[in-house]
Amino acid sequence: MQVKVKIWIEDDEQNLIFGSGKTEVLEYIDRTGSIADAAKEVGMNYKKAWNHIKILEKFVEDDLVITFKGRGENSGTSLTPKAREVIQTYKILQHDIKKYSEDRFKELFQKNGQEILSPKENK
């Protein structure tokens, strides 16, 4: 057995500001160079992906993407250094909380080599 955790960041009114979904959108933008392609990859429409970015930008008070209009090689979208910092910081938080929860789960539920929770054997 294992413990699972999900981490997200909310504002004081409990509105979602940042979490794994917005991280995924930003990472796909970084890979594809396109908000539209990133939205398709994560299964959402362009407007929703763009809205995710705009909500987050309000809280970091900085641009997260730079868009280059036009056609061809000089068009597309790239992440700003601030976007990369936000992604990295979130991933550190996610990793640390996951590690702590796994260690604490073992301390509490797997004492002295015996599991407190375990599936019953079929008899």
Q: Higher pLDDT residue, 75 or 48?
A: 48
Q: Looking at residues 11-18, what average pLDDT do you find? A: 92
Q: Please state whether the predicted TM-score (pTM) of the whole model is above 0.95.
A: no
Inform me whether the pLDDT recorded for 114 exceeds 90. Answer: no
Q: Classify burial at 103, counting beta carbons within 10 Å of its beta carbon; exposed 0-12, middle 13-18, buried 19 or more.
A: exposed
Report the CATH number of the 13-106 domain.
1.10.10.10
Q: Higher pLDDT residue, 111 or 14?
A: 14
At residue 1, the pLDDT reads 79
Inform me whether the pLDDT recorded for 61 exceeds 70. Answer: yes
Inform me whether the pLDDT recorded for 123 exceeds 60. Answer: no
Dihedral sign for Cα 79, 83, 85, 90, please.
negative
Q: pLDDT tens digits for 15-59?
A: 899 999 999 999 999 999 999 999 999 999 999 999 999 999 999
Please name which of 4, 46, 3, 1 lies closest in space to residue 25, comparing C-alpha atoms.
46
